[in-house]
Amino acid sequence: MRTKADIESYLMRSHLAYEEVADSMWVVSDPANRVTNLVVKQLGPILLFRLKVIDVPDAGREALFHKLLDLNATSLLHVAYGLEEGAVVLTHASEIESMDYNEFQAVVDEMAMAMTEHHEALSPYHRPSAPPAVKA
């Protein structure tokens, strides 16, 4: 049976920066491949991956959703775009028992590939954050 120690060994083998932020939950980063704040969480027999891509814009939502569905169908194998709390996210869930290092790395690699290859297609929908208010 796979355990938390197995997932930690996969993280070490991947040579990615990571930090355990809660019991059986890690935040993984690979800035060279536009992957920051990839959350990997063991939830019982399931291993979840979640990566926030962009906030959902107020304008152009229908076109964005169409583009995401198109990318899900034509460009992604292990992961999928979805919506969560007003954000576009890449997600993946697997039974931890059957996940080996190669599958773990394939999920991380596909998320990195999506962030790199889909950046241009999704950048028109990116809504920049408002600058912090300046107090006088």
pLDDT digits (tens, 9 = 90+) for 60-113: 899 999 999 999 999 999 999 999 999 999 999 999 998 999 999 999 999 999
The Cα 105–Cα 110 span in angstroms is: 8
The pair of three-digit structure tokens given for residue 115, joined into one six-digit string: 């962030």
Where exactly are the structural domains of the chain?
Answer: 4-125
DSSP H/E element including 18: strand 17-22
The two three-digit tokens of residue 66, written as one number: 């169409």
Nearest in space to 61 (alpha carbons), one of 127, 11, 129:
127
pLDDT digits (tens, 9 = 90+) for 38-65: 999 999 999 999 999 999 988 889 999 9
At 30 the pLDDT is: 85
Contact yes or no for 107/78 (Cβ under 8 A): yes
| pLDDT bracket for residue 135 (50, 70, 90) | low
pTM of the model: 0.86
Query: Would you state the structure tokens that stand for residue 64, as one six-digit string?
Result: 């964005």
Binned at pLDDT 50, 70 and 90, residue 2 comes out as confident
pLDDT of residue 33: 76
Q: How far is CA 108 from CA 3, 66, 129, in A?
A: 19, 24, 26
Arithmetic mean of pLDDT over the chain: 89
Pick the CATH number of 4-125 from 3.30.70.260, 3.40.50.880, 3.30.1460.10, 3.40.190.10: 3.30.1460.10
Q: What is the pLDDT of residue 124?
A: 87
* Confidence at residue 129, expressed as pLDDT on a 0 to 100 scale: 54
